[in-house]
Amino acid sequence: MQGKGFIKFIAIVLAIVCAYALSFTLVASSVEKDAKNYAKGDLAKEKAYLDSMSTEKVYPVVGFTYGEVKAKEINLGLDLKGGMNVTMEISLAELVKSLAGNPTDANFNKAVQNAQIQLNAGGKDYIKIFVDEFEKLSPGVKLADYFSNQDNASQLKASASNSDVESFLEKEATSAIDRSFTVLRSRIDGFGVVSPNMQKQEGSNRILIEMPGVQDKDRIAKLLQGSAELQFWQVYQVQEVAPLLENINKTLAATLKVATPAKTDSTAKPAEGGKLAGLEKASAKDSTDKGGKLAGLGKKDSTAVRAELAKSNPLYAVLNLPIYQGENGQQQLMPGAVVGMSLQKDTAKVNAYLKLPEVVAAIPSTMKFMWSVKPREGSKVFELYAIKVVSADGKPDLGGEAISDSRADFDQKGKPEVTMYMTSEGAAKWKKITAEAAADANNKKSIAIVLDNMVYSAPTVQNEIAGGVSSITGNFTQADTKDLSNILKAGKLPAPARIAGSYVVGPTLGAQAIHDGLISFVIAFIVILIFMALYYHRAGWVANFALLINLFFIIGILVSLGAVLTLPGIAGIVLTIGLSVDANILIFERVREELAHGKNTGTAIKEGFKHAMPSIIDSNVTLFILGAILYVFGSGPVQGFATTLCIGILSSLFAAVAISRVVFESLLNRKVDISFDNSLTRNAFKNLTFNFVGRRKIYYIISTIIIIAGIGMYFKNGGLNLGVDFKGGRTYLVHFDKAVNTEDLKAKLNPVFGNETPEVKTAGEDSQVKITTTFHIEDQDIKTDKVVEDALNKGLAGSKYEIVSSQKVTPIIASDIVNGAFYAVLISCLFMFIYIVVRFKKWQYGLGAVIALFHDVLMVLSFYTILDGIMPFSLEIGQDFIAAILTVMGYTMTETVVVFDRIREKLKESGKEDLHGEERNNLINFALNSTLSRTILTSLTVFFVLLVIFIFGGDSIRGFIFALLIGRIIGTYSSLCISTPIVIDLGSSAEKK
């Protein structure tokens, strides 16, 4: 075998990479185990332990802290650990109106409204739709008359054409989405979510947010949907605030008894403020260079000493003053705007102290405290600022409306900076504020840039800034300047972000999902190992070894890529393992054929691999194409399934073909006897002579009857049982303490939902139901979610229950999902047709395969409509169903391509590329029968795997797996009885013409 050394090298490198990726999970688990042992059931104590370890190096080999290790461990999806998934939608309609100064022109507002309606119906580019609608309603009118003004004159001239205005609006829309992303990310970080996942949905005005562990929907809704309010405030210097903090500390010591103080961090770096208009950041950097340290106790101080400090100095136990050691050896307050520093876990305690009545009485009315939005780099230390309130009404010195533009830039030395542009009115106020801040040459003051009551930056002013153009420089990275630029623009124009879709999974359901997923995974894996060992004897153990290596590679690659592992993802891994035996079965069956022809074992193995490769490559390429299409057009769980499927296919090819071949070569070199069967399996599937071609009309009739029955049930049931993914609405999974009657529940919920009859179905067990309603689904008010949930709780009053998960999908999201599903099926069929025609050089093969695909889709849909209401679980059609449909199509293509390959091989052996009539039918029947062993064995293997997942995988994916189960049967039936006979009939039709 050529390239054996290279295969071993790749396998070793892959193994090292995967072991490294998985090691982070082991290290994180070890730290968390220590935390549990330390806390002994006290969750607060456990959290405090983990917080204290976040900046400690727990992986000494590579020097990573616990926080860094935690970020690199296996990333579980919300369905496995609970939490909240939110789709935020940026209102481009309101952005457009705001950019135009909210005109009262009827045609303009009608164009805005029409564009939103078209977007809701599945349109993609809001700005283009708006411009088209405006030109229809107001032909000859220039859009520049609405959008061009003094503040944006450099970007949009008054004489600009409508296409120029469209480009300007597209740019502003993209900018609005970017700055909304920055604001939302800051809010999520401030909320304290561990490992949130945020991503912009390319080509749309949506942002997807995953928040593990979050359950408070109302608080999250307020947090995410609140309007961004940008403010500029003057700040007090630390020298001005230190005496007040000392007084507060004494007041607290006299009135409080602190039992358990929090640890402080002596490793935090001194403050760095920033500079405005070219001023270096106070003297903080100089102090840092001199090795400045924070005052306070280090982690090594004894518990007794810390407890004593907390009693006598309660404020300073959780808040450090910015102190450094001066040249005279004495500790001094570091000049600047930062008045204190605390660990993240201590900020709540500081806030609580500052809100006590006796403390509030001591704080001047002209002062209020705010925290920095981010911790210091490499730590969890947040900075505290004292904001100066100079106006009688308590408003900031300047608001976000004063900003006309902002951009990330570079100064003359090539260092990142932010350039800020003011409106004419804002420039005048800015000149006055900066003049006051820079008045004392020996004591330059800072101005805090605040959003959502969090300080993003507090640069020190060097001199009066006239003209409204300012540069903010400091120790910035390019990412920092981009974020700050977005923040400055966030207050410029309102582009409200609203929750368009949400999905909440309770921790109980997540824990159950992990349990069910692991159980199904282990059992399915054992089933495959036993089957291969029993059926193929010693060769089966080689396949099992390759399977174990494959599993290790799949999980390792998923972790190293940072992929999120969801329940459908686990199903994808199990399914991939089931499919990976397909390559081994193809090879082993070909080896058995060669052995039956009297060849020795070494030659038979070589020939078996050679003859099986075309089928293996073709079948895996077709399935990979479908996986890629799933990934592009799917979202959430579907993408998770597609990711594991694609990675699994590549890994399976390498493990099942390359590694197993190396193992066989090694066994042959050591003269080990290799058997591919036993006495029970030796003659299985021998001398089969099924007349598939001759009976094809019977198969056509069977399929037609089933599809007609499905169509009949479709009309009888009033359509398909669409989930909220496809029709919009809210779904709640509710678990009761005892069995409930769905009709009684529906009667109780009907009046509280405004006589809008909800859908109530049993979900798995009699004590668990799924409630679906469209009540207030189009209402975009921030309080609507709570209104609907309050109505639900009112309707369920009198019962003991728990809402274990909830999902919300607005009509616009639903229409996008429907369109995505349609295009996914259509494009996958087109790709399959092109691939088959190119590979087999006959359009009949391509069209026959595509007709078979449509046949399978109709068959699965027919079974769903026929069995809906009969099966004891939900047969809803949602995103996961589309994943199932495309996977079924993949099965069919895999089976069909293997048969086509054997037909092509037999035609080549016969020396005639075009046989006709009975001779052709006999050859095709022979090809079908010769591949029947492989078809049946692969189908059974995958069927058993799916059956195990169906039984043990939990209620949440039972409908999904059911679609795969019947799809597996239909796919096998279709590849033998439909796709190949159709090729014959297409060929016969072409001959007649």
What pLDDT does residue 408 have?
Answer: 83
Does residue 947 surpass a pLDDT of 70?
A: yes
What is the arithmetic mean of pLDDT over 946-957? 72
| pLDDT score, position 574 | 67
Q: Convert the pLDDT of each residue in 606-654 to its tens digit.
A: 888 888 888 788 778 877 887 788 777 766 566 777 788 888 888 888 8
- In tens, the pLDDT along 66-83 reads 877 887 888 777 666 667
Q: What is the pLDDT of residue 189?
A: 66
Which backbone phi and psi does 295 adopt, to 5 degrees? -75, 150
Instruction: Give me the percent of the chain exceeding a pLDDT of 90.
Output: 3
Q: How confident is the model at residue 702 (pLDDT cuts 50, 70, 90)?
A: very high
The pLDDT, as a whole number, for residue 386 is 92
Mean pLDDT value across residues 691-705: 88
Q: In what order do the strands lie in the sheet with 759-763?
A: 197-201, 206-212, 83-90, 497-505, 801-809, 729-736, 765-773, 759-763
Both tokens assigned to 808? 């919300």
User: How confident is residue 706, by pLDDT bands cut at 50, 70 and 90?
Assistant: very high
Judging by beta carbons within 10 Å of its beta carbon (0-12, 13-18, 19+), is residue 145 exposed, middle or buried? middle
Position 980: which residue type? T
pLDDT at 764 over 80: no
Structure tokens belonging to residue 353: 């102290």
Q: Please tell me the predicted confidence (pLDDT) of residue 267.
A: 37
Q: Which tens digits make up the pLDDT trace of 768-822?
A: 788 888 787 766 665 677 788 888 888 888 788 877 777 777 666 666 666 666 7
Q: What integer pLDDT is reported at residue 195 of this predicted model? A: 62
Candidate from 19-23, 150-154, 260-264 with smallest mean pLDDT: 260-264
The Cα–Cα gap between 555 and 393 comes to 59
| pLDDT for 905 | 77
In this prediction, residue 284 has a pLDDT band, given cuts at 50, 70 and 90, of very low
Q: What is the pLDDT of residue 977?
A: 84
- CA torsion 105→109→112→114, rounded to 10°? -120
Q: Is the pLDDT of residue 749 over 50?
A: yes
Q: What's the mean pLDDT when you consider all of the chain?
A: 77
- Asked whether the predicted pLDDT for residue 876 surpasses 90, the reply is no
Lowest mean pLDDT among 307-311, 389-393, 807-811: 307-311
The confidence band for 495, taking pLDDT boundaries of 50, 70 and 90, is: low
Res 270: pLDDT:
37
Strands 564-565 and 75-76: parallel
Instruction: Report the pLDDT value the prediction gives residue 636, as an integer from 0 to 100.
Output: 59
The CA distance from 751 to 585, in Å, is 59
What does the pLDDT average to over 735-759? 80
Residue 24: which residues within 8 A CB-CB, separation 6 or more?
Answer: 59, 64, 69, 72, 73, 559
pLDDT band at 367 (very low <50, low <70, confident <90, very high): very high
Ranking 124-138, 332-346, 485-499, 527-541 by mean pLDDT, the lowest is 485-499
Contacts of 597 (CB under 8 A, 6+ apart): none
Token pair in block for residue 36: 């549990």
Predicted confidence (pLDDT) per residue in 561-605, tens digit? 877 777 667 667 766 776 677 788 888 888 888 888 888 888 998
> pLDDT band at residue 738, thresholds of 50, 70 and 90?
confident
- Give 273's pLDDT tier (boundaries 50, 70, 90): very low
Tens of pLDDT, residues 821-864: 677 777 877 887 888 888 777 788 888 888 888 888 888 889 88
Q: What is the mean pLDDT of residues 960-971?
A: 80
What homologous superfamily is domain 506-671+690-714+816-992 in, according to CATH? Answer: Multidrug efflux transporter AcrB transmembrane domain (1.20.1640.10)
Q: Determine whether domain 729-809 maps to CATH 3.30.70.3400.
A: yes
The pLDDT value recorded for residue 299 is 38
In order, the DSSP letters of 900-924 are HHHHHHHHHHHT-S---HHHHHHHH
What values do phi and psi take at 814, rounded to 5? -60, -45
Task: Answer with the residue of higher pLDDT: 507 or 143.
Answer: 143
Degrees to nearest 5, angle at CA 397 with 395 and 398: 100
Q: Is the pLDDT of residue 708 over 90?
A: yes
pLDDT band at 418 (very low <50, low <70, confident <90, very high): confident
Across residues 158-166, what is the average pLDDT? 88
Nearest to 141 by CA among 189, 105, 188, 190: 105
pLDDT at residue 108 tops 80: yes
CA distance 160 to 140: 13
Considering 349-358, 754-763, 880-889, the range whose residues carry the highest mean pLDDT is: 349-358
Query: Alpha-carbon Rg of the chain, whole angstroms?
Result: 34
Q: Bigger pLDDT: 179 or 172?
A: 172
Beta strands, E only, 100-205:
197-201
**What 3-state DSSP class applies to 410?**
strand
The helix/strand/coil state of 208 is: strand
Higher pLDDT, 222 or 691: 691
**Count of Cβ atoms closer than 10 Å to residue 711 Cβ:** 14
The yes-or-no verdict on residue 304 having pLDDT over 60 is: no
The pLDDT assigned to 507 comes to 56
What pLDDT is attached to residue 503?
A: 66
The confidence band for 263, taking pLDDT boundaries of 50, 70 and 90, is very low
pLDDT number for residue 524: 74
pLDDT surpasses 60 at 268: no
The arrangement of strands across the sheet holding 416-422 comes to 403-410, 416-422, 469-473, 275-276, 460-461
Is-above-0.75 flag for pTM? no
pLDDT of residue 278: 32
* Residue-level pLDDT at 817: 65
What gap in Å lies between CA 367 and CA 383, rounded to an integer?
16
